[in-house]
Amino acid sequence: MKTLFLTVSLLFTGLQLTLAQAKLPVSATTTTKEEQEVLALSKTKWAWMADKDVAALNGLFKDNSVFVHMGGSWGKDQELSVIKGGMIWYKKAEVYAASVNMFDSTAILLNDIDLVAVVGGKEVINPFMVTEVYLKEEGQWKLGSLTFSHLARPVKLNAPASASPAQR
């Protein structure tokens, strides 16, 4: 009986954790003007990353910004160098959900995405929860941090034929 109870409890807990990972925090049904600005800026940032527009990204990223990837973390100069040099090409970010939480002049945005990227010449697709931290300075939003957290959920995006099953 104890074993059955323990097994059911563990299964229930595991199911809750799995389902919780795929959900973004629920925010108010209406977004404020500032929240809309940050959501639009994030969308534009994904386009700039796909286009390798390092000039636009240079203006968006704070000088002391930090970037956390599956393979390491670094600052603004290295992130721009990685994008410009094509070491990582953020080819397409398919955003399934986005939410933003405001704290005075700081906005924390969460994006549930599938990222199509070319890394080391090889196209890969990964599901991520991306955390973006924006700070408003002199009336402009600047990105202070960008963190990619790999999700356990399967990729939702239709994978290209060239991607291996592990990358879909």
Q: Does 3 score more than 60 pLDDT?
A: no
pLDDT in tens, 60-115: 999 999 999 987 899 999 999 999 998 999 999 999 999 999 999 999 999 999 99
The CATH number corresponding to 28-167 among 3.10.450.50, 3.40.50.450, 1.10.357.10, 2.40.100.10 equals 3.10.450.50
pLDDT tier at 159, thresholds 50, 70, 90: low
Contact assessment for residue 98 and residue 111, using Cβ atoms and an 8 Å cutoff: yes
Q: Please give the pLDDT value at position 71.
A: 78
Report the predicted TM-score, pTM, of the whole model to 2 decimal places: 0.77
Spans of all domains in the chain: 28-167
pLDDT band at 2 (very low <50, low <70, confident <90, very high): very low
Q: Which helix (H) or strand (E) holds 133?
A: strand 122-137
pLDDT for 34-63, tens place per residue? 999 999 999 999 999 999 999 999 999 999
Residues 113-125 have a mean pLDDT of 94
Q: What is the mean pLDDT of the chain?
A: 83
State the pLDDT at residue 142. 98
Q: What is the pLDDT of residues 21-30, one digit of tens each?
A: 444 554 446 8
pLDDT at 29: 61
The b/e string for 15-52 (b: 16+ C-beta within 10 A; e otherwise) is eeeeeeeeeeeeeeeeeeeebebbbebbeebbebbbeb
